[in-house]
Structure 1
């Protein structure tokens, strides 16, 4: 008998204790840890980094008011009355490529361990918190690996070891860790639209001898992206097909598409916005290259350009026509960090992906307007088909 579950089981974004990608630094004075983080961060300024520490001030009264102080250069100082909550922190840190944690105060899923003779007792005390050492840092040249570490990690000799002065080597090692956390990309072709102005399904229009949705899918698959069709909720698709042919619900495969390659909308009546969110609900750990099917002039070179210019440190990488004011939200790579932002806009009553992109930190790739012309009406379809043929 299947076990009863009270709540729907959802795929979760991979997280450490406080952030998707985190590393705790422990085993030396807090000032030394902060200094190392600052030096490394200065050399990795192309990434979005954060440092999570505890206040060392004493005798502070609990705040009755949360203060947000903005500076015109973009700096923000927050003094809040809230307490640490890993779920809140994960939301706050979801936008960062990597989070450094002062491991003297908080645990992280990965660790950098200082070998400081003055802090050996501290390491011994926290040895249960040390689980995945990335490398050691020697505070002095003649310091040896602590016995508690040797006892817990039989492979300790294989773990890299640097001196505190080797900032460049430490930075390069951390940079490689960050690179390994860059999400892979999957493709999403939006075919769930109602095509009201066209009068028939735009994804089925034939410009190149096959339905346009297949052309869009091949564009993404030719660039080695596992690709899915974003389709309307299953019940809607079933109803539409049951009106055309007899058959039970289990045997309906919309438009002949392999069902495992379909993502049915779970965010209902939200158009492309719902399709994007539904894809992230299926896999919140991948980036999604979203493509509409009303763009017949889009070609492989443009997809390759978008992939080449991808900036995973941004919320998204989006195409913009050189003569256009705004980006095209349906020729865009959405990073996993965009998912909580999309949900925040939805909570405010907005379901426009372009509005999200306009007001977020986005990498913009400019191209000729000719490549990203939308085809929405029968007249535009005939004109586009004639232009492509000629």
Structure 2
């Protein structure tokens, strides 16, 4: 008998407890932890970083252990901003709050983190013993003094701990470099998405089937992405003969629905989205966008030098774009450009001629003649 499933088994973003990528720092007092986070964050200012902490005074409204005044510090190039809220800790809400950050530091004296940095501080031995079970993924150890020894109960519980890399508290550059490597390890891979099957009302026929280079443009676009080592799928409204396709699960939303459908299928990859009505986009443009990719931003997008706005369909969308797209959809908007215009996006400017949209039969004939008379693709 087939077992009844109450809920659809959706692919989920690879989250830690509170954030996509987090580390708890524990083993010393809160001031030492906060100072370390500030110093390290200055060295890693090219990333979006946050600090998840709690005030020492519990909320007066409740005596429950999981109710605190929460402090979330967002680190910028100039310093940090503190956001204070109150209420019961809800990991699902925190994942929404932290979905845009490359790395979240957690004060391990208050909250457990999926990964940990252990500070060895003799005065906090009892505190470490209390949290011993939370130290299951220590990344490295920091000693307040170089001669500080591991507590016997640590070696008994985690015999490998002596083999971990250790730093002294003043080796900020080395600590920051180690954390940089941890951030880099979790940067999303990129997959390709070629948008096909649009209405093509002005053209009068499917633009993805037009032939500029001896075969349908959708195949040319796919080849462009695949030749740059991107596993590439067609984004389609309905099933077709192609195996590598992603069917729209967000229906009747055009390209916006195609992008969201790709993220629903794989929310842990970035998606290089490419339209089929921009035949002058060549391998150099694809490589340029890949080279300029800024995974710390919501997206990396092409913009014509004389254009006002970015091109949403020649864009690398990072996993952090997915919840933002859904927020726009919840407000009744299904325009990917609107999301990009109002988000933190890396912009790559190129000559306008490379990103001309071909929308009518007349434009198609002109473009085809221009392509045939040039060596645009070598």
Instruction: With the length of structure 1 as denominator, give the TM-score of the two structures.
Output: 0.89
CA distance in 1, matches of 2:149, 2:258: 55
1: distance between equivalents of 2:79 and 2:359? 40
After superposition, the Cα gap between the structure-2 partners of 1:59 and 1:296, relative to the gap in structure 1 and judged at 3 Å, is closer
Query: Match of 1:363, SS?
Result: strand
Q: Deviations over 1:327-372 (max 9, x none)?
A: 0000000000000000000000000000000000000000000000
Match of 1:302 in 2: 285
Aligned position for 1:217: 222
Match of 1:333 in 2: 316
Q: Which residue of 2 aligns with 1:40?
A: 40
Matched residue, 1:130: 135
* Number of residue pairs matched by the alignment: 360
Deviations 1:286-314 (CA, angstroms, capped at 9, x unpaired): 00000000011000000000000000000
The aligned runs of 1:259-270 (5 Å cut-off) are 261-270=244-253
Match for residue 165 of structure 1?
170
Residue in structure 1 matched with residue 334 of structure 2 by the alignment: 351
Once residues 297 and 344 of structure 2 are traced to their aligned partners in structure 1, the CA distance between those partners, rounded to angstroms, is 6
Tell me if the contact between 1:295 and 1:375 (Cα under 8 Å) persists in the aligned partners.
yes
Tell me the residue number matched to 1:360: 343
- Structure 1 alignment gaps of length 5 or more: 64-72, 235-253
Work out the CA distance in 2 between the residues paired with 1:59 and 1:8: 37
TM-score, with structure 2 as normaliser: 0.92
Query: For structure 2, which runs of at least 5 residues remain unmatched after alignment?
Result: 68-77, 374-378
Q: CA deviation at 1:81?
A: 4.5
Higher strand share: 2
User: Which residue in 2 is equivalent to 1:146?
Assistant: 151
1:77 positional shift: 5.4
Q: Distance in 1 between matches of 2:206 and 2:368?
A: 16
Matches of 2:59 and 2:217, distance apart in 1: 66
* Deviation string, structure 1 residues 109-155 (Cα, Å, up to 9, x no partner): 00000111111111111111111110000112221112222122222
Q: Find the counterpart in structure 2 of residue 111 from structure 1.
A: 116
Q: Distance in 1 between matches of 2:144 and 2:248?
A: 54
1:207 Cα shift? 0.4
